[in-house]
Amino acid sequence: MNNVILVAVISLSAIGATSAVILYFVAQKFKIIEDPRIDEVEDVLPKANCGGCGYAGCRAFAEGIVKSGTLEGFFCPVGGNSVMSQVALIMGLVAEEKEPMIAVLRCNGSRTNAPAKINYDGPATCAFTHNLFSGESGCPHGCLGLGDCVAACTFGALYIDQNTGLPAVIADKCTACGACVKACPRKIFELRNRGKKDRRIFVCCVNEEKGAPAKKNCEVACIGCGKCVKACAYDAITMKNNLAYIDFEKCKLCRKCVEECPTGAIHELNFPPRKVKTTAPEETTGQNTPTEVTA
């Protein structure tokens, strides 16, 4: 009886020992030497796996950087400059400072500005509705307000404003990953720079129709009149397909175009209130203003 146990123990130990030796050599043969910096870079990344950098996830992004050995073309929009400088430290490179970006909704076709002409009660997804028809307001370029962008945002930075029926961006939460830009079937969202003191000027419209049909559907549409192009002293505004576009790299935030725009399609954000010209004749003769002043 003892003999059986002994034989079993010895034979199994022998098999174990030989396998261990074989496995050792196999492991040596097929050893993968991974750059330890990949782990290090991954550690400093935000691990949101949002895909905003253009890679499948943070790990793929880290691998990309370490394998190419350069930071050119690599930028983590979520981590921003601070994370990129840490990555640069690990890699022994210098990170290029990038201006922080933010997603901007370029449509102001709210319930009051672009009132619904019909009532849509089908499935609430923009992708389907965009294929089906031009939208409740009739504007074929404007926001459908059904929230494909909200569903795509992994940072909770978007919500549908119940008063306007349009999505709104929570500036503190937006990481400019670009998920909403991809999700929107009408390409209304754009990543623009945050600007000094969060001040931004942009054309809040993407309608490429001629002036008359654009204005018919929406009070605040860009009608392609070109006044802003003339007003801009820095060549920052271009006109294409009846639609003005402000290049944020050239824009000096002078706000001339905002004053010129006849439909109010150009928006300014986070600027201090303008100095009111007290001597302006329209204001003194206006019927509503005196009551406000006296009250």
Least distance CB 140 / another protein (angstroms)? 5
**From residue 105 to residue 124, what is the string marking binding to another protein with x (rule CB under 8 A)?**
------------xx--xxx-
CB of 47 to another protein, least distance (A): 24
Element holding 197 (H helix, E strand): none
How many chain residues bind another protein (CB under 8 A)?
17
Minimum distance of another protein from residue 115's CB (angstroms): 14
CA distance 84 to 90: 10
Give the per-residue contact string, 211-250, with another protein (x = CB under 8 A; - = no): --x-------------------------------------
Q: Is 209 in the site for another protein (CB under 8 A)?
A: yes
CB of 173 to another protein, least distance (A): 24
Pick the stretch among 50-58, 64-72, 129-137, 261-269 that binds another protein (CB under 8 A): 129-137
Nearest Cα neighbor of 72 from 55, 92, 96 is: 96
The reply on whether position 167 binds another protein by CB under 8 A is: no
β-strand pairing of 243-246 with 237-240: antiparallel
Other CB atoms within 10 Å distance of the CB of residue 272: 7
The span from the CA of 56 to the CA of 260, in Å, is: 44
What Å distances lie between residue 139 and 134, 167, 223, 279, CA to CA? 6, 17, 13, 40
**Region 133-162 residues binding another protein, contact defined as CB under 8 A:** 133-135, 138, 140
Per-residue burial over 207-220, b if 16 or more Cβ lie within 10 Å, else e, is bebebebbbebbbb
Closer Cβ to another protein, 28 or 131, answer by number? 131
**C-alpha pair distances (Å), 134 with each of 127, 128, 165, 178, 217:** 12, 11, 16, 24, 11
Residue from the set 14, 17, 21, 132 that interacts with another protein by CB under 8 A? 132
The two tokens of residue 116 are 């619904």
- Contact stretch for another protein (CB under 8 A) within 45-53, 57-65, 127-135, 262-270: 127-135
Residues in contact with another protein by CB under 8 A are: 117-118, 121-123, 125, 127-128, 131-135, 138, 140, 209, 213
